[in-house]
């Protein structure tokens, strides 16, 4: 057994909120502290692990349950797992939390960005289509998003750069004693 303690950092928020961007900045910072980092990005997962699933409540729940299960295994193995998935349902996130917490801490990061701001950014061009009614079941527009009530970390991206948001996450992990100082810092 390694004495290194794994944990899962679970980014939840609307499409375009900034989950992947922040995870991609936080990951290398954690690697500099000598931890093994793994990523489970919702868009990537849907191309293999969850290929064929759609966006009904049932399929969304199946997708999140799969991600939660893999995150729990990686946490058990001592990795720090960065999950970026809309994960719109509170109960389903709670199920993922229960699976992970069998083996290590689950840190929920609410990437809080309004629908209006996400639509302004419209990174993938999806909001324009959703507002035009071309995409059904689009989270925040025509499908629910249940915001976390008590997340471990709450990031408000509209008043920050991605670098500031990532620094806030890293500082919160340090404050919780989950990571040490960067080597050479
Ligand atoms: P998601 O993974 O949540 O769907 P992305 O990370 O793909 O979202 O896109 C978020 C977009 O918002 C990027 O273009 C990013 O540059 C921009 N952005 C602006 N401010 C922030 C911030 N503080 N944190 C994260 N992303 C931000």
Task: Assign residue 99 the CATH number of its domain.
Answer: 3.40.50.300
Show the domain range for 101. 7-113+144-175
pLDDT digits (tens, 9 = 90+) for 21-41: 999 999 999 999 999 999 999
* CA-closest candidate to residue 37, choices 6, 73, 60: 6
Q: Is residue 45 part of a domain?
A: yes
Q: Is residue 127 part of a domain?
A: no
CB of 21 closer than 6 angstroms to any ligand 1 atom: yes
Q: Which helix (H) or strand (E) holds 106?
A: strand 106-112
* Chain mean pLDDT for the chain: 95
Q: Is residue 181 part of a domain?
A: no
Q: Is residue 125 part of a domain?
A: no
CB of 159 closer than 6 angstroms to any ligand 1 atom: no
Output the CA 1–ligand 1 centroid distance in Å. Answer: 37
pLDDT digits (tens, 9 = 90+) for 35-91: 999 999 999 999 999 999 999 999 999 999 999 999 999 999 999 999 999 999 999
Ligand 1 pocket test: which of 21, 42, 127, 147 has the largest number of ligand atoms within 8 Å of its C-beta?
Answer: 21
Cβ atoms within 10 Å of 119's Cβ, excluding its own: 18
Q: Is residue 163 part of a domain?
A: yes
Q: Is residue 134 part of a domain?
A: no
- Respond yes or no: is residue 87 known to be catalytic: yes
How many domains does the structure of the chain reveal?
1
Q: Is residue 180 part of a domain?
A: no
Output the CA 105–ligand 1 centroid distance in Å. Answer: 25
Say if CB 141 and CB 75 are below 8 A apart.
no
Residue 183 scores a pLDDT above 80? no
* CA-closest candidate to residue 159, choices 147, 168, 171: 168
Q: Is residue 182 part of a domain?
A: no
């Amino acid at each position: 057994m390694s004495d290194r303690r794994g944990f899962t950092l679970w980014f939840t928020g609307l499409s375009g909120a900034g989950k992947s961007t922040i995870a991609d900045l936080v990951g290398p910072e954690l690697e500099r502290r000598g931890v093994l980092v793994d990523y489970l990005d919702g868009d990537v997962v849907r191309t293999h692990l969850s290929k064929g699933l759609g966006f009904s409540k049932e399929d969304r729940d199946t997708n999140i349950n799969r991600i939660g299960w893999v995150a729990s295994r990686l946490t058990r193995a001592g990795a720090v797992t960065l999950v970026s998935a809309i994960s719109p349902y509170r109960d389903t996130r709670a199920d993922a939390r229960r699976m992970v917490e069998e083996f290590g801490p689950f840190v929920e990061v609410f990437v809080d960005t309004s629908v209006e701001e996400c639509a302004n950014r419209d990174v993938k061009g999806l909001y324009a289509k959703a507002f035009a009614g071309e995409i059904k079941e689009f989270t925040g527009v025509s499908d629910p998003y249940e915001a976390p009530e008590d997340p471990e970390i709450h990031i408000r991206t509209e008043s920050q750069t991605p670098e500031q948001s990532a620094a806030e996450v890293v500082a919160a992990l340090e404050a919780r004693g989950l990571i040490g100082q960067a080597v050479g810092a």
